[in-house]
Amino acid sequence: MSHQSGTQLNQHYIDGEWTDGDGSDTFASESPATGETLAEFTRGTEADVDAALAAADEATEEWRELSYIDRAEYLWEIYHELRDRHQELGEVVSKECGKEISEGKADVTEAWHMVEWAAGNARHPHGDVVPSEVGDKDAYMRRKPRGVVGCITPWNFPVAIPFWHMAIALVEGNTVVWKPAEQTPWCGQIIAEMFDDAGIPDGVFNMVQGFGDAGAAITDDERVDTVLFTGSAEVGQEIASKVGGEPGKLAACEMGGKNGIIITEEADLDIAVHSAIMSSFKTTGQRCVSSERLIVHTDVYDEFKERYVEIAEDVAVGDPLEESTFMGPAIEPEHVEKIRKHNELAEQEGANVLVDRFELGEDEIPDGHEDGNWVGPFVYEIEYDTDLRCLKEECFGPHVALLEYEGDIEDAVEIHNDTPYGLAGAVISEDYRQINYFRDHAEIGLAYANLPCIGAEVHLPFGGVKKSGNGYPSAREAIEAVTERTAWTMNNSKDIQMAQGLSADITMQDD
Ligand code: UN1
């Protein structure tokens, strides 16, 4: 059982030990739904990160000597614990990050799916047998762990995303230094306890609780070989550009989106409304795959608008632990302010506001939750213009633009692609030609047809293009970011024969 919540100060996990670390500052995990303190944590310093990196560095040699299958055994322990504690951990997720309970539990399910994928993959081939141009040569692609992997994870999937990063990094033979999001340290604590319970060797897994300064100390350190980051575009870009300047170091960053759904004149409007509501308001719009733009054909615009607005006016905001809740609170007061600014920006840019539940009525806020970070849907229509900031900047909240278009799917996709981001999107249509046009031309990493643009499964690549990512999505592709490839060629003959017709003759001066 976890020694989390309550008055006790929770610690870092470094080199197989729980430790207060070097600093004296502490911070609290606060419930977004009530404002109450859930637990207290020590705040990591550069010295703590230094100790964690030293431990991770030291542990690499022994860890990489284990077989894939032996490394995966530690993850299987965690897999079972995640499953056994599904309800309990789902509730912790909902309490700490405010997602309603089905989402809290889905976060834990997504975590064990990723652990299952990574640990199961230990028994699958990890390289290629490659034909050589020369008959007597054997050629292979082999993989080696990169070494120390620094993981920086966001609050909105506080159990799933840490495992996207760490399950794969560890099974592939790397050691890890992880900083959980400062908003969800309790989830971080429980995950660290699971690694401790699983008996993972000292130094292989390390967790430092803290803020951006601790994260920067991880990403800046030369002992880190790969940085895995999921979070905001601002921080991701900073990490990617800094790390890009350091030879031999790699950053795999997954960032946000300004995701769009196209609803064509051939759409089934039941599917359209359902998909759009899910994509806009699940997780209170705080998924990197949430949709903030609905691009709707003029022929179906009025009917879609009426049906969508009716639900957005009424969708249940409330206590995340109640099953009847659709939207929980926003993560923190600063984020409520950010959402307010985005709503105001849309109004300044000429939005016609259709739903404004930013300030919820007293009767909409559950009893005893008056200090929560409550926000409701904000829906507006605006004439598409490429210069509008409200159509380009990610709000990360329940803030949605309706854009009416005329013409064909080509016109809709042009509007769809007119953002600096490229993470997720959907097309709603009964016409396969329109669907396939979207599939082939939408500039995104996660594309859906007749579905919401949220809810990707873990064994698919997850990542975006343009400002949304730099090309190492989770699951199979994340292996590229945490391993080195070796081209291994071996001669079976006593003669040396070269590829490309290169002469292997050594000629002497008097030949
Ligand atoms: C995120 O939005 O930050 O596809 C991650 C999904 C989830 C992951 C979302 N599997 O909605």
Q: Is the pLDDT of residue 3 over 50?
A: no
The closest residue, in CA terms, to atom 7 on ligand 1 is 455
Q: Which CATH architecture has domain 9-255+469-488?
A: 3-Layer(aba) Sandwich (3.40)
Specify whether 395 is catalytic. Answer: no
Is 254 a residue of the active site?
yes
Q: Residues 151, 187, 253, 288: which is the catalytic one?
A: 288
For a mutational test of ligand 1's pocket, the pick from 157, 183, 230, 331, i.e. the residue with the most ligand atoms closer than 8 A to its C-beta, is: 157
Choosing from 193, 254, 381, 404, the catalytic residue is 254
pLDDT-derived band of residue 474, with 50, 70 and 90 as boundaries? confident
- The full set of domain ranges for the chain reads 9-255+469-488, 259-449
- The per-residue pLDDT for 41 is 98
**What is the best residue among 108, 152, 287 to mutate for testing ligand 1's pocket, by most ligand atoms within 8 Å of CB?**
287
Nearest CA to ligand 1 atom 6: 455
Q: Comparing C-alpha atoms, which of 286, 360, 315, 378 is closest to residue 97?
A: 286
- How confident is the model at residue 7, as a pLDDT? 62
Question: Tens digits of per-residue pLDDT, 298-320?
Answer: 999 999 999 999 999 999 999 99
Report pTM. Answer: 0.96
Q: What is the CA(77)–ligand 1 centre distance, in A?
A: 25
The topology (CATH level 3) of 259-449 is Aldehyde Dehydrogenase; Chain A, domain 2 (3.40.309)
User: 174 vs 56, 153, 200, 484, 488, CA distance in Å?
Assistant: 9, 17, 13, 11, 21
pLDDT in tens, 242-299: 998 999 999 999 999 999 999 999 999 999 999 999 999 999 999 999 999 999 999 9
* Atom nearest to 458 CA in ligand 1: 10
Give the residues surrounding ligand 1 with Cβ less than 6 Å away.
110, 156-157, 287-289, 454-456
Q: What is the DSSP string of 129-180?
A: EE--SSTTEEEEEEEEE-SEEEEE--SSSTTHHHHHHHHHHHHTT-EEEEE-
